[in-house]
Amino acid sequence: MEIKKVAVIGAGLMGHGIAQVAAQVAKFDVVMLSRSPSTLDKAMAMIKDSLQKFHKKGLLTEDQIKETLNRIRVIPLSDLDKAIFDADLIIETIAEDIQSKKNIFSQVDRIAKPEAILATNTSSLSITELASSISRPERFCGMHFFNPPQIMRLVEIIRGARTSDETINTVAEAARRMGKEPVIVKKDCVGFIVNRILMAALNEALHILWEGVAERDDIDKACELGLNWPMGPLKLLDYIGLDTALAILEVLEGELDPKFRPSPLLRQMIRAGFLGKKTGKGFYEWSQIT
């Protein structure tokens, strides 16, 4: 099966980036959906800003920017039936709540053409459980992008208990067309590869800060210089979103091991409304960062 049209459900931090690379790099026709018209407007503004940054670096021409934008349509989620009936690949990118995702997929399953592939960008939830909400579990998989999708090259392709080889191969090829390097997670396990390793490290950085072992800047500097990380764990948490990080850790704790119990500092920050870059403040003041 050849992918020509992609639908992205959700226009937030990940959704708009996935829509951009699908249109810009793979040259797929893309429709991006959200419940909120203002979210769609903001998403398109972010895509335009990202494309201009590539242009300033000499990586895109003005014509290529126009072509990319012409490939993307934005449609309210209330018009789901009009948006996805002919889509070949439908990628869900909404918040990490399993019931909300199941509800979306049960609607999508009734509308999408029989041969369409359904994928979730979940970073931690069970692919097999999400697939239980649809009538085509063999055409369902995880397609986990990393933030920001416009730059990060990795995509985890996760097999559910009933996912077919054809689905895995088709989605992996779609990822390659987007300029990504896919890795196959052959067994459905919460956290997959990266987050099982990463979230343990990020949570430990939170404990170090909470216990007063070291300050924010020294923790981040230590990981950047000592582990060769491109950014420190606390800055990375701000990029991920502290609420998203908490949701992932809670799933890992419940499904795998108590060692993933979230640091008290994480809950305290969230209660204060400091969610990271998306709210302008987390461990860093993002208005002061260019």
Selecting among 34, 50, 123, 124, the annotated active-site residue is 123
Among 251, 120, 260, 257, smallest CA distance to 185 is for 120
Selecting among 50, 126, 195, 203, the annotated active-site residue is 195
Active-site residue 144, yes or no? yes
User: Does residue 183 sit in helix, strand or coil?
Assistant: strand
Active-site residue 156, yes or no? yes
Order of all β-strands in the sheet with 89-92: 72-76, 29-34, 5-9, 89-92, 117-120, 140-145, 154-159, 181-185
Please tell me what DSSP assigns to residue 274.
-
Q: How far is CA 146 from CA 151, 195, 237, 255, in A?
A: 9, 11, 13, 22
End-to-end CA distance of the chain: 43
Tokens 């500092």 belong to residue: 265
Selecting among 96, 121, 156, 203, the annotated active-site residue is 156
Selecting among 92, 124, 144, 203, the annotated active-site residue is 144
Q: Active-site residue numbers? A: 123, 144, 156, 195
